[in-house]
């Protein structure tokens, strides 16, 4: 089982900020999940397509200028980080799951990953790129075929894991309410890992362990650490 600190250690620090990333590292998280959008040729780390919930700004992320985005408070005085700032901070101390949220994120993500591997700050197997957007994910795989990818499912699939065979992904990321033991077994037979979001309670963790999932996303990395 592996544990992803979801949006950083977002149960302890404002989500998708450097503080959440540093907190996850200090808690010993082996993997950190973050969401990205592309703005003015930069990857910015934020979950929603709008600014209101997590910052003191307003409007659509992709309609904003970088200068405006960087002027905002993303909680406790933290800025909306650039992905490169996160990668410089983590520097290979944990794996990074980059979730492609926005349009046109695949190209920038592929070249950024390549540059951090070239700089020897990360190994290729310390990256996992995922998305609900299968087109963006496919674009990414064409550009960076050696980097693992995961497909996010927004609901229960009709035919277990069969759909993923055409996607050539490493892992299937499933909501906790959509995952069953049969799905996990089917995914494993087809060679996929199953990672489940978002597991913030001990009873959910126990239930996920009992059906044999390979990993969980949690806002509270200590929940998982206690079970080791
Ligand atoms: O990637 C797993 C999970 O983060 C997907 O949902 O909405 O939290 O990005 P969301
Ligand atoms: Mg996410």
Instruction: Convert the pLDDT of each residue in 126-137 to its tens digit.
Output: 999 999 999 999
Bond from prior residue into 198 cis (ω within 30 degrees of 0): yes
> Partners of 4 in the beta sheet?
31, 217
Q: How many whole angstroms separate alpha carbon 68 and alpha carbon 52?
A: 13
Q: Which atom of ligand 1 is nearest to the CA of 198?
A: 3
> 173 an active-site residue?
no
> 47 an active-site residue?
yes
For ligand 1, say whether the CB of 78 is within 6 Å of any of its atoms: no
Q: Which atom of ligand 1 is nearest to the CA of 101?
A: 9
With a CB cutoff of 8 Å and minimum separation 6, the contacts of 152 are 99, 130, 131, 132, 173
Q: Closest by alpha carbon to 196, among 223, 148, 212?
A: 212
> Partners of 44 in the beta sheet?
37, 82
Give the closest residue (by CA) to ligand 1 atom 1: 99
Q: pLDDT tens-digit profile of 161-212? A: 999 999 999 999 999 999 999 999 999 999 999 999 999 999 999 999 999 9
Output the pLDDT for position 9: 98
Output the pLDDT for position 228: 67
Domain layout of the chain by residue ranges: 2-226
Give the right CATH number for 2-226 from 3.90.220.20, 3.40.50.1220, 3.20.20.190, 2.40.340.10: 3.20.20.190
For ligand 1, say whether the CB of 217 is within 6 Å of any of its atoms: yes
């Amino acid at each position: 089982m592996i544990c992803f600190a979801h949006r950083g250690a977002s149960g302890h620090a404002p989500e998708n900020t450097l503080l959440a990333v540093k907190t996850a590292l200090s808690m010993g998280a082996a993997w950190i999940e973050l969401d990205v959008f592309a703005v003015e040729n930069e990857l910015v780390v934020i979950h929603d397509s709008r600014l209101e919930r997590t910052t003191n700004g307003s409007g659509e992320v992709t309609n904003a200028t970088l200068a405006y985005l960087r002027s905002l408070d993303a909680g406790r005085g933290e800025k909306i980080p650039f992905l490169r700032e996160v990668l410089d901070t983590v520097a290979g101390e944990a794996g990074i799951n980059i979730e492609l949220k926005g349009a046109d994120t695949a190209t920038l993500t592929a070249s950024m990953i390549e540059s951090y591997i070239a700089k020897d700050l990360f190994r290729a197997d310390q990256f996992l790129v995922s998305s609900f957007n299968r087109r963006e994910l496919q674009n990414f795989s064409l550009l960076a075929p050696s980097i693992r990818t995961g497909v996010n499912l927004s609901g229960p699939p009709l035919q277990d894991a069969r759909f993923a065979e055409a996607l050539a992904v490493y892992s299937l990321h499933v909501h906790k309410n959509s995952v069953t033991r049969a799905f996990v077994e089917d995914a494993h037979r087809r060679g996929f890992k199953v990672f489940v979001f978002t597991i913030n309670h001990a009873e959910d963790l126990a239930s996920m362990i009992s059906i044999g999932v390979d990993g969980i996303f949690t806002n509270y990395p200590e929940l998982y650490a206690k079970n080791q």
